[in-house]
Amino acid sequence: MSTKAPTLELNGGVAHLGDDWPSDAWGRFWSAYPHKVAKLDAQRAFARAQKKRVPWDKFWGALQSYVNKTDDRPWCNPATWLNGGRWDDQPAATNGKPPAITADMIARGDFRRTPR
């Protein structure tokens, strides 16, 4: 009995591994995603994302990073995350704390937590 190794396929000029997504990929995604809105839109976007043949490990790892984000930016709707190919994002590293409000910001009456 021989085990066939995954092969690279050219899809739109980009090499992708074969489809290695688990049969319960949608359920895993929906269970893990923190902002459960517009489920039907998310299901459609998920089906499109699956057709892009992104390796599951890359997709799932990116989702886990997003779910565990420490910044205060609002969550994307799941369809937005999927349609935007957010598994390719490379967000800036944070220390888990919002930026400090400086004396200059207070003097200006600016409390947005980011210096101008």
Can you give the residue range of the structural domain that contains 51?
Answer: 20-108
- For the chain, what is the domain count? 1
Residue 29 within any structural domain of the chain: yes
Residue 10 within any structural domain of the chain: no
Residue 1 within any structural domain of the chain: no
Tokens of 103: 């004396």
Of 22, 71, 93, 77, the closest CA to residue 44 belongs to 77
| Cα–Cα dist 11/52, whole Å | 8
- Confidence at 15, pLDDT banded by 50, 70, 90: very low
pLDDT in tens, 36-55: 999 999 999 999 999 998 99
What share of the chain has pLDDT > 70, as a percent?
62
More reliable by pLDDT, 72 or 78:
78
pTM over 0.85: no
66 and 81 in contact (C-beta within 8 Å)? yes
Residue 114 within any structural domain of the chain: no
Tokens of 53: 């043949």
Residue 34, φ and ψ in degrees, nearest 5: -80, -20
Tokens of 70: 């420490």
Residue 5 within any structural domain of the chain: no
